[in-house]
Amino acid sequence: MSNFEKIQSRDKEYVANTYGRFPVAIVSGKNATCYDADGKEYIDFTSGIGVNSLGFCDDGWIKATTAQLSKLQHISNLYYTEPCGELAEILCKRTGLKKVFFANGGAEANEGAIKCARKYSFDKYGPGRSKILTLKNSFHGRTVTTLSATGQDVFHNYFFPFTEGFEFIEAGDIEALRAKSAGVCALMIELIQGEGGVLPVDPKFVEEAAKFCREKDILLIVDEVQTGIGRTGSLFCFMQYGIEPDIVTAAKGIGGGLPLAAVLFGEKTESVLKPGDHATTFGGNPVACAGAAEIMKRLDGEFLSKVAEKGEYFREKILKMPHVSGVAGMGLMIGIELADGIKAADVVKKGIENGVLLLTAKSKVRLLPPLTATYAEIDKGLAALEEALAES
Ligand SMILES: Cc1ncc(COP(=O)(O)O)c(C=O)c1O
């Protein structure tokens, strides 16, 4: 029995089988290179679905988290800790937003944003202005409320009754936004629909929607769970769209591998949630925040422009590969459009055989490499990807 088979057989017996998995057990890694339980090497173009911003086991991140770990691992948000405030200060100063609520994952961050939007409207206008518009084909999480917010019918099954008060408009359809705006407290959008297939939302629509929302006092919530923390070549993707959201949510890459998420509130929303309105036991965990502060310090202008450059490098190389009809996305959030009836899942399977870890997003092969991937790692991974495409 291989080491993998031993790991898999116990897992099969004891771990709830609620998600599909690849037949690989990863045991260690450094930057964008990792190893499975039987010693095979892979280049990682997934970052654990956009989480490991600085790759595997980054020295600075390990130092920051372990230094905090050996002092105080947790105390709850009933008490103050230094890393939580330090991280919040960095986030506010770098985004222009005013206050931060820390949570543990993307869905939970979006729940916080939704609660804030509804309370903002309730406080100002009374009951009945609680509807939230989101985009068709969006993805906002897997809690009952964030499933409701997700604009894909496939997610609206089994778990009835879903939370009321969500309606969907087509990305790009400004008239639909206008037509559906009665009783609406917020518009919640991803700027690049990640799970929906790496689809950037039209900047003109975003600009017009932001303007309309401001005029009508409809809050603009930008879900940056996948696009945030340097992924698209700027600290947050909204910065490239030239808008000023009222609420921004972040998760995945902010913790660099530890569970952490943030809801960033702007001027209108910074004081809406009052003591007792919202909290979470692990929120602002000092170890996760210390690691995140290290990530934020590393993501300076020079680092971010390198992310954009690497993204261009990926695009240029991938466009020349077999069965590729296009490349979507921004920075290191990359969606490969496949031609000739090639299936993304088959490319991912072949990728594993050839030593590269890849993701899918609908019909596309999706890449979310660590932001620190070296050109040597990128070249190695791209060679394996090219082989996988050729064999599919
Ligand atoms: C845009 C977006 N929002 C929310 C989520 C949910 O995040 P989490 O899985 O951390 O709850 C995801 C996860 O893929 C996402 O891509």
Of 198, 225, 260, 280, the one to substitute when testing ligand 1's pocket (max ligand atoms within 8 A of C-beta) is: 225
* Token output for 108: 């939970």
pLDDT of residue 111: 98
Q: Which helix (H) or strand (E) holds 297?
A: helix 286-298
pLDDT digits (tens, 9 = 90+) for 66-122: 999 999 999 999 999 999 999 999 999 999 999 999 999 999 999 999 999 999 999
The confidence band for 21, taking pLDDT boundaries of 50, 70 and 90, is very high
In Å, how far are 216, 233, 252, 331 from 305, measured between CA atoms?
Answer: 36, 6, 21, 9
pTM: 0.98
Task: Give the strand pairing for 184-189 and 131-135.
Answer: parallel
Ligand 1: centre distance to CA 106 (Å): 5
Dihedral over alpha carbons 21, 25, 26, 28 (to 10 degrees):
160
pLDDT of residue 134: 99
Average pLDDT over residues 217-246: 98
Q: Tell me if 44 CB under 6 Å of ligand 1.
A: no
Q: Tell me if 34 CB under 6 Å of ligand 1.
A: no
- Residue 108 alpha carbon, nearest atom of ligand 1: 11
User: Distance (Å, rounded) from C-alpha 3 to C-alpha 172?
Assistant: 50
User: Distance (Å, rounded) from C-alpha 329 to C-alpha 316?
Assistant: 13
pLDDT of residue 226: 98
pLDDT of residue 34: 99
Of 114, 134, 147, 226, the one to substitute when testing ligand 1's pocket (max ligand atoms within 8 A of C-beta) is: 226
- Residue 193 alpha carbon, nearest atom of ligand 1: 1
pLDDT digits (tens, 9 = 90+) for 284-296: 999 999 999 999 9
pLDDT digits (tens, 9 = 90+) for 348-368: 999 999 999 999 999 999 999
pLDDT of residue 389: 98
Task: Decide if 355 contacts 40 (C-beta within 8 A).
Answer: yes
Length of the chain: 392
pLDDT digits (tens, 9 = 90+) for 173-193: 999 999 999 999 999 999 999
- Residue 252 alpha carbon, nearest atom of ligand 1: 10
Q: Tell me if 141 CB under 6 Å of ligand 1.
A: yes
pLDDT digits (tens, 9 = 90+) for 150-167: 999 999 999 999 999 999
End-to-end alpha carbon distance in the chain:
29
Question: Could you give the 3-state DSSP secondary structure of residue 272?
Answer: coil
DSSP label at 263? E
- Residue 110 alpha carbon, nearest atom of ligand 1: 4
The domains found in the chain, sorted by start residue, are: 3-53+302-391 (3.90.1150.10), 61-298 (3.40.640.10)
In DSSP notation, 336-385 reads EEE-TT--HHHHHHHHHHHTEE-EEETTEEEE---TT--HHHHHHHHHHH
Q: Tell me if 195 CB under 6 Å of ligand 1.
A: yes
